């Protein structure tokens, strides 16, 4: 074979390899995305439909405003991935992330979700109305530092709030102050090396002698469970020796501040917490 023919054949093989190689973007997704209708222009009506669909399908993981709950903050997902990338992520899911495929929704509903997700971050929900300095005083006066750590100072009974302002929207934080047990995080950086289950879940145990132990689960195996009570004391309990052991969904050591603070105080407190780590 002549040198020219060998060079031509090598070039052809290289071109075919580049043409058929899977794209890096496609490799991030699960189920391959088939051909679909073009991206429709959003309308007020379609955004309203998308909001309803999002609340029933996505909010459980990503939060009612997309700022995250048991799943990540997706308020910037549309600008990061673009409409086609976001469509592919919803259709195919994401391997290894816990994000399932929603291909069964069909392309029309997926486009509704894409357009609604694209509107997140451009609405006025969660605008900071309070005074962060006054909010800091409210934070300290209500003993929040006994459970929460900020910049290495405080307790560890609740989540570290050092960077919470860059991770959650003001709307989410306000909702958390109203219903703390309703938005327990699915993971926590401080517990990931020690536990493979959701942290901050409350349990009520009754021992053989009738003693009631109520606390937050910090560790568990087939035979024992370790609960931390409101004072921070650790209780290690053998499951087989208990009269009763039951989870308490929706319960939290953190009280609701819905009726404890005025509207102005709530705004100030949200403003302070949102300032931690850099509010978006």
What pLDDT sits at residue 83? 84
The more confident residue out of 77 and 269 is 269
CATH number at residue 176: 1.10.760.10
Evaluate whether residue 190 is within a structural domain: no
What pLDDT sits at residue 41? 82
Average the pLDDT over each of 18-22, 92-96, 145-149 and give the range with the smallest value.
Answer: 18-22
Answer yes or no: do 137 and 267 share one domain.
yes
Cα gap 207→126, rounded to integer Å? 45
The more confident residue out of 232 and 189 is 232
Mean pLDDT of 32-51: 89
Q: Which residue range forms the structural domain that includes residue 266?
A: 132-184+254-275
pLDDT confidence tier of residue 30, bands split at 50, 70 and 90:
low
Cα gap 61→70, rounded to integer Å? 5
The packing angle between helices 263-275 and 132-141, to 10°, is 100
Mean pLDDT of 50-71: 87
How many other CB atoms sit within 10 Å of the CB of residue 123? Answer: 13
Regarding pTM above 0.75, the answer is: no
Domain boundary among 66, 89, 119: 119
Q: What is the pLDDT of residues 165-192, one digit of tens each?
A: 766 767 778 888 998 888 676 555 444 4
Q: What is the pLDDT of residues 241-269, one digit of tens each?
A: 999 999 998 899 999 999 999 999 998 99
b/e for 222-243, b at 16 or more Cβ within 10 A?
eeebebbeeeeeebebeeeeee
**Token digits of residue 96:** 């290894």
Answer yes or no: do 142 and 15 share one domain.
no
Cα gap 267→170, rounded to integer Å? 9
The packing angle between helices 77-92 and 107-119, to 10°, is 160
Domain boundary among 92, 119, 146: 119
Domain boundary among 75, 90, 119: 119
- Taking alpha carbons only, the member of 158, 280, 129 closest to residue 216 is 158
What pLDDT sits at residue 85? 87
Answer yes or no: do 151 and 22 share one domain.
no
pLDDT confidence tier of residue 14, bands split at 50, 70 and 90:
very low
């Amino acid at each position: 074979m002549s040198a020219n023919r060998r060079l031509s054949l090598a070039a052809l093989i290289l071109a075919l390899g580049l043409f058929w190689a899977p794209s890096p973007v496609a490799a991030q997704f699960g189920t391959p995305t088939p051909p679909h209708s073009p991206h429709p222009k959003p309308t007020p009506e379609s955004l309203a439909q998308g909001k309803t669909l999002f609340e029933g399908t996505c909010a459980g993981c990503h939060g009612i405003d997309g700022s995250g709950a048991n799943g990540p903050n997706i308020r910037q997902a549309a600008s990061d991935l673009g409409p086609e990338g976001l469509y592919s992520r919803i259709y195919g899911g994401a391997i290894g992330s816990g994000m399932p495929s929603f291909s069964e929704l069909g392309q029309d509903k997926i486009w509704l979700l894409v357009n609604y997700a694209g509107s997140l971050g451009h609405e006025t929900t969660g605008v900071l109305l309070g005074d962060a300095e006054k909010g800091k005083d409210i934070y300290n006066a209500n003993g929040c530092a006994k459970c929460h750590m900020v910049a290495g100072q405080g307790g560890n009974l609740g989540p570290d709030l050092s960077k919470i302002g860059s991770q959650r929207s003001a709307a989410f934080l306000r909702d958390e102050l109203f219903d703390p047990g309703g938005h327990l995080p699915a993971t926590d950086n401080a517990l990931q090396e020690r536990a493979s289950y959701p942290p901050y879940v409350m349990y009520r145990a009754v021992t053989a002698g009738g003693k009631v132990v109520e606390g937050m689960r910090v560790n568990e195996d087939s035979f024992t469970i370790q609960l931390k009570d409101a004072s921070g004391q650790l209780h290690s309990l053998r499951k087989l020796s208990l009269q009763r052991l039951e989870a308490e969904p929706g319960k939290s050591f953190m009280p609701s501040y819905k009726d404890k603070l005025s509207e102005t105080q709530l705004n100030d407190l949200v403003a302070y917490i949102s300032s931690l780590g850099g509010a978006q």
